[in-house]
Amino acid sequence: MVWIPAFAEIGLGALAFGPFLLHRWSVGRWRKTPLAYPQPDRKTEPRPITVLLPVWNEALVIETKLANLASQEGVSFTLLAIDSASTDDTVQRIKRWLEKHPNAFANHELIEMEHRLGKSKAVQIALESLESNGFDGLVCMTDADASMPPNALKRLQGWFVNPTVGAVGASARRSGGLGQEQVHRSMFELLREGESAYDSTPFLEGSLMMWRSNSFNASQMNIGSNADDAQIATQVRLNGLRSIHDPMVHFADVAPTTPEGQRRQKVRRAQGLQRLLLRHRRHWRSPRIGNFSKILRREAHFHLAAPLLLVGAATASVLRWGTVLLWGMPIG
């Protein structure tokens, strides 16, 4: 009798982890033929850039962020900051900084929300503002606590010489995290590189990502869910263009320094990705999106099926040991 839960434990564990091993092997092959960075097109004017900066209670870092943006080299851009009803003096600091540095950006705008409605809603409002003004260019979204090297925007902008590229995300260099966080981040970015080489990755880093304004519509943002960056990356690909990860451009930020803080961050992120994948389940086997359907299908397994299979394996393990305690270990 003890063998039944034992076999169930092994079988469910294999079903949970087998696709992980397959995807890791696939990623290793895909990374051998990465998408080449395009050569500059000197005959065509670069597409205009608007930097979207969502903020909420960022008084401690906002001036440093604005200075970091102003230090970008080789690009001219408009700053669009949107504040989600901060309760500190974030808005006042933004206004003072812009008054002191009126020529830091080609243009700037600050949207002040009356109520905090979540980042996804703030991003949607900002994109609606761009659409109502007829903006046709590149949108770069970045977080207030993310520090970029001087060539970051120029590097991201260069990808869009390739007409098949719709969105590009940067790599994270997080300080203050625990060792486990570094391992998780390295594996995450390894998978994003491989998926980008094969077709597209559904998940990009919202701390620094850029996309074509006409590849994602504000109405496509699900404001009832988080993971706004993954929403944009996935929808860009579903709209017909590629969504890729660039390992050569980085941003720096600070990870939660406690296991509990990291756990909460991962759980919230995972819940957002689960909702996203469920919402797009009809695309898991859609021939219209080609190879991307395989990536979506595998990510759906990792985020939706695997946790349930692991719960089943754990339950089988408890039953197995419970049987051993009650009846003893079978002999012969």
Percent of the chain with pLDDT over 90: 70
**Site of tokens 């570094």:** 182
**Assigned fold of 37-256:** Spore Coat Polysaccharide Biosynthesis Protein SpsA; Chain A (3.90.550)
**Mind giving me the DSSP string for 75-91?**
--EEEEEEE---SSSHH
* pLDDT the model gives residue 43: 81
Q: Mind listing the pLDDT tens digit for each residue in 13-37?
A: 788 888 889 999 999 999 999 999 9
Q: pLDDT class for 174, splitting at 50, 70, 90?
A: confident
Alpha helices in the chain (DSSP H): 3-30, 62-70, 90-100, 119-132, 152-158, 179-198, 228-238, 259-279, 292-300, 306-327
Query: Could you say which DSSP state residue 40 is in?
Result: P
Question: Does residue 190 have a pLDDT over 60?
Answer: yes
71 or 271: which carries more pLDDT confidence?
Answer: 71
Q: What is the mean pLDDT of residues 108-130?
A: 97
Which has the minimum average pLDDT: 16-20, 87-91, 259-263, 327-331?
327-331
Question: Does residue 229 have a pLDDT over 60?
Answer: yes
The pair of structure tokens assigned to 6 is 């034992």
Q: What is the mean pLDDT of residues 233-260?
A: 90
Q: What is the mean pLDDT of residues 159-184?
A: 84
Q: pLDDT class for 169, splitting at 50, 70, 90?
A: very high
* pLDDT the model gives residue 46: 87
